Amino acid sequence: MKIIITAAFLIVLPFSFSAYSQQPRNSKDRAVSAAKQVEAEVKAAFDTLIEGIRQADVEKVMSVYNNDDRTLFFNFNGTATIGWKNMYENRKSSYAKRANTSLEVTGLRVEALSPTSAYVTCKWKQTQEFEGKLEQSSGRMTLVFKKLGKEWKVLHLHTSPDTFPSAVLVPASEQEPKEGDQ
The full set of domain ranges for the chain reads 28-172
Q: What is the pTM of this model?
A: 0.75
Identify the CA nearest to 116 among candidates 142, 146, 90: 146
Residue 39, SS3?
A: helix
In one letter, which amino acid is 31? A
DSSP state, residue 65: B
Residue 174 region by backbone torsions, left for phi larger than 0, else alpha for psi between -120 and 50, else beta: alpha
Phi, psi of 103 (to 5 degrees): -135, 120
CATH number for the domain formed by residue range(s) 28-172: 3.10.450.50
Q: What is the pLDDT of residues 90-102, one digit of tens each?
A: 999 999 999 999 9
Q: In the predicted model, what is the mean pLDDT of residues 48-60?
A: 97
Query: Which residue blocks in 111-159 are alpha helix, DSSP H?
Result: none
User: CA angle, 95 as apex, 135 and 143 as ends, to 5°?
Assistant: 85
- Indicate the range of 3-7, 80-84, 147-151 predicted with least confidence: 3-7
Residues with Cβ < 8 Å from 69, sequence gap 6 or more? 82, 83, 84, 85
